[in-house]
């Protein structure tokens, strides 16, 4: 039998195996978040000191999700400070890893940090993508001032919000230049640009593989046709 027949048959088997196994496998989506916190470095008390605040709010309570925050880089001279305060399914430390699970409706992590005057803040987000039937789980990131209240942004006090939908709904916000820090009403507004969100290479691979799987049925039909043609007995003239 023609060698190409076995080659095409092997490819068809591998693609079919991928179609069967991939949907049953849960993958985390990974992003790098970078936000320029240098404008916070020169602030007096109040509105300093500042804290990072992360939330994971449960939607319908039907499925569970986990958000892991790691690889915190505060820039030269910056660091985590103080002890974390947690609510619900939140644990960890800015010095290592922070984990949020939707074990309750409201899950929150707060810990102080010293902003760098020369470099931005960055960290990695890994989150699962289990979609609730009606109301999605939602992750958010804010920066608290000395009053333990979020710095005002163009969307209340949130710099980043991720709704776990299919596909993910990712929205970033800059600070509100018309609002003073809540911990110092007489202070001028603090200008912080919206965070920059960059997919990690593993996430880009999954997106690309997902596109390949969408194209696979047409490819597989064509290859099946070629296999049948090669397997058919040749016609004598």
Angle at CA of residue 24, ends 18 and 26, nearest 5°: 110
CA distance 111 to 144: 9
Model confidence pLDDT, tens digit, residues 17-72: 333 333 334 468 999 999 999 999 989 999 999 999 999 999 999 999 999 999 99
The side-by-side arrangement of strands in the sheet containing 121-127 is 90-92, 98-101, 66-73, 121-127, 29-35, 196-199
Q: Which domain holds residue 167?
A: 27-204
What pLDDT, on the 0 to 100 scale, is given for residue 28?
81
Residue 10: inside a domain: no
139-148, 164-173, 210-219, range with the lowest pLDDT: 210-219
pLDDT at 235 over 80: no
Q: Give the N- to C-terminal CA distance of the chain in Å, as an integer.
A: 20
Residue 74, domain member (yes or no): yes
Could you read off the pLDDT of 65-88 as tens digits, one per residue? 999 999 999 999 999 999 999 999
Would you state the pLDDT for residue 223?
55
Asked if the model's pLDDT at residue 1 lies above 80, the reply is: no
Cα dist from 237 to 155, 212, 226, 231, whole Å: 76, 41, 21, 18
Predicted confidence (pLDDT) per residue in 223-232, tens digit: 556 656 655 6
Residue 19 covered by a domain: no
- Whether 90 shows a pLDDT value over 70: the answer reads yes
- pTM (2 decimals)? 0.77
Decide if 9 is inside a domain: no
Residue 76 lies in a domain: yes
Q: What is the pLDDT of residue 3?
A: 43
The total number of structural domains in the chain stands at 1
In a domain, 220, yes or no: no
On whether the CB atoms of residues 98 and 69 are closer than 8 A, the answer is yes
Q: What is the DSSP letter of 150?
A: B
On whether residue 11 sits in a domain, the answer given is no
pLDDT tens, position by position, 167-196: 999 999 999 999 999 999 999 999 999 999
The answer to whether residue 50 is domain-embedded is yes
């Amino acid at each position: 039998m023609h060698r190409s027949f076995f080659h095409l048959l092997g490819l068809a088997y591998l693609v079919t195996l991928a179609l069967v196994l991939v949907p049953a496998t849960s993958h985390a989506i990974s992003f790098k978040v970078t936000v320029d916190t240098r404008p916070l470095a020169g602030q007096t008390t109040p509105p300093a000191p500042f804290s990072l605040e992360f939330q994971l709010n449960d939607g319908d309570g039907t499925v569970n999700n986990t958000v892991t925050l790691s690889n915190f880089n505060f820039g030269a001279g910056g660091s985590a400070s103080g002890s974390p305060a947690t609510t619900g399914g939140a644990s960890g430390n800015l010095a290592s890893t922070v984990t949020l699970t939707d074990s309750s409706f409201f899950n929150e992590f707060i810990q102080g940090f010293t902003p760098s005057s020369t470099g931005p803040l960055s960290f990695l987000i890994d989150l699962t993508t289990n979609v609730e039937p009606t109301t999605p789980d939602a992750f958010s990131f804010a920066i608290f001032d000395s009053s333990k209240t979020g710095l005002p942004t163009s969307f209340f006090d949130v710099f980043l919000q991720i709704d776990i939908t299919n596909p993910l709904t990712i929205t970033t916000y800059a600070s509100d230049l018309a609002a003073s820090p809540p911990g110092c009403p007489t202070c001028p507004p603090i200008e912080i640009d919206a965070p920059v969100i960059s997919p990690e290479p593993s996430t880009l691979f999954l997106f690309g593989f997902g596109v390949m799987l969408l194209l696979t049925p047409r490819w597989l039909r064509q290859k099946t046709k070629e296999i049948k043609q090669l397997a058919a007995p040749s016609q004598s003239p």
